[in-house]
């Protein structure tokens, strides 16, 4: 190419000016939006990764809200079982008192009444509500786990909540699991309400064998409720642990998304500066081109 057409330099230079302008507009757009990845072709691998991270983040945020729910269930169960154990301990103390000391009929009747009160308050505890649902009612849509007569009216389902990726947790216990199974034939081997009724009757009638049996049954029932309390309590700890580790992971994911998508402002500012300079230089040079010709030097 030894010859140059005078005006052919202009389109070529214009192409360069356009290119400079494009890259300048590109960095301006990035700075204005704060995003480096605007569309798939800006970095297909990065976009797929960032979409994956975003989906995992959204899922994780939802799981965190689930964990919150699970914690409410477990917390309520913990509190209620604790009350229940307290009441049962009271009943046992009364029972021991009834067995050991010489009481007259009125004294025994008073203790029997106290035991019946405890039973009533246990029924109340068994009907504890959480978010409009009976805590020990399984998955029933009814408003009670036990009716006024102490009969279980919930179902056998349990509330399960996924609290972390791959971890789905059962966060509720049905009434029979906590308070024992109803036995229509033998009240002493039935649920706690039947047992307490039977025990109250035994105390009232000074049935020493019945009282001894009652203490044994009460101990077994307390063991069962305590076991459930420990179990649910440890689940609460597990939920907290899972949340904590999920939070760390989320932070990492968020950092990764930001790393992938967001503009590094320092870098972008430097690029903006240098590209502005390049663009201005290209403009200046283009303005200079084809200004002079031989015409200027001929008389």
Partner 1 sequence: MSFSALNTALTSLRAQRRAMEMIGHNVANANTDGYTRRRVDLDPAGHVSVGGVWSRPSSTGNGVEVSGITRMREDFVDMRVRQQLGVSGTATRLATIYDQIESLIPEPSDTGISAQMSAFWSAFSEAASRPGDLGTRSAVLSRATTLAGSLRTASEALGGYRTQLQADMSVTVSQLNSDIGEIASLNGAIVAAQAAGVDAGDLQDQRDLLIDRVVSTTGATTKSEDDGSVSVFLGGKTLVRGTRTEGLAVTVGGPLDPPLDTLPFQQVSLRWAGDGYGVQSLGGSLAADLDGIGRVVPNALAQLDAVASALVTSVNALHVTGHGLDATADVGLNFFDPAGTTAATISLSADVAGQPSRIALAGGLEGDLGGALGHQIATLAESTTGPDSIFRNLVGRLGVEAQTAASSAAIQERISGQLQQERQSATGVNLDEELAALVASQRAYEAAARILTAADEMLDQLINRTGVVGR
Rg of the chain, C-alpha, whole Å: 39
66 binds partner 1 (CB under 8 A): yes
**Which ranges in the chain belong to alpha helices (H)?**
9-33, 44-100, 105-126, 175-179, 192-204, 208-261, 265-288
State which residue, 44 or 86, has the beta carbon closest to partner 1.
Answer: 44
Joined together, the tokens standing for residue 93 give 């103390």
Q: Count the residues of the shown chain that bind partner 1, applying the rule CB under 8 A.
A: 56
Among 84, 138, 173, 204, binds partner 1 (CB under 8 A): 138
The span of 33-41, 231-239, 243-251, 275-283 binding partner 1 (CB under 8 A) equals 33-41
The encoded tokens of residue 223 equal 């063991």
Axis crossing angle, helix 208-261 with helix 192-204, rounded to the nearest 10: 150
Residue 161 contacts partner 1 per CB under 8 A: yes
Residues 6+ apart with CB under 8 A from 102: none
Among 71, 133, 217, 235, binds partner 1 (CB under 8 A): 133
Per-residue string for binding with partner 1, 243-282, x by CB under 8 A?
Answer: ------------------x---------------------
Using CB under 8 A, which of 52, 147, 183, 251 touches partner 1?
Answer: 52
Site membership for partner 1, residue 101 (CB under 8 A) = no
Residue of the chain from 115, 145, 159, 221 that contacts partner 1 (CB under 8 A): 159
Judge whether 210 and 198 are in contact, CB under 8 Å: yes
CB distance 121 to 158 below 8 Å: no
Q: CA-CA distance, 78 to 170, in Å (whole number)?
A: 14
The DSSP 8-state label assigned to residue 146 in this structure reads: B
Shortest distance, position 66 Cβ to partner 1, whole Å: 6
DSSP helix/strand/coil, 297: coil
Q: For residue 63, state whether it binds partner 1 (rule: CB under 8 A).
A: yes
Interacting residues with partner 1 (CB under 8 A)? 1-8, 11-12, 15, 37, 39-45, 47-48, 50-52, 54-56, 58-59, 61-63, 65-66, 69, 131-133, 138-141, 154-155, 157, 159-162, 165, 168, 261, 293-295, 298
């Amino acid at each position: 190419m030894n010859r140059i057409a005078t005006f052919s330099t202009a389109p070529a230079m214009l192409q360069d000016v356009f290119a400079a302008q494009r890259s300048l507009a590109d960095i301006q757009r990035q700075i204005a939006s704060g995003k480096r990845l605007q569309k798939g072709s800006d970095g297909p691998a990065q976009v797929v990764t960032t979409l994956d991270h975003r989906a995992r983040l959204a899922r994780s945020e939802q799981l965190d809200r689930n964990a919150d729910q699970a914690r409410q269930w477990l917390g309520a169960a913990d509190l209620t079982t604790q009350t229940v154990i307290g009441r049962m301990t009271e009943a046992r103390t009364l029972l021991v008192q009834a067995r050991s000391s010489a009481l007259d009929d009125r004294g025994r009747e008073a203790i029997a009444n106290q035991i019946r009160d405890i039973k009533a308050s246990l029924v109340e505890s068994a009907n504890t509500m959480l978010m409009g649902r009976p805590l020990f009612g399984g998955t029933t849509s009814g408003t009670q786990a036990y009716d006024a007569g102490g009969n279980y009216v919930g179902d056998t389902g349990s509330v399960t909540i996924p609290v972390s990726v791959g971890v789905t947790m059962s966060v509720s216990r049905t009434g029979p699991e906590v308070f024992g199974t109803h036995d229509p034939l033998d009240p002493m081997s039935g649920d706690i309400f039947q047992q307490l009724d039977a025990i109250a009757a035994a105390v009232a009638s000074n049935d020493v064998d019945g009282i001894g049996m009652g203490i044994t049954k009460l101990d077994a029932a307390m063991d069962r409720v305590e076991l459930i309390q420990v179990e649910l309590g440890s689940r609460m700890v597990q939920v907290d642990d899972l949340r904590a580790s999920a939070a760390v992971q989320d932070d990492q994911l968020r950092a990764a998304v930001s790393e992938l998508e967001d503009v590094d402002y320092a870098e972008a500012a430097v690029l903006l500066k240098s590209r502005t300079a390049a663009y201005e230089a290209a403009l200046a040079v283009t303005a200079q081109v084809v200004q002079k010709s031989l015409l200027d030097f001929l008389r």
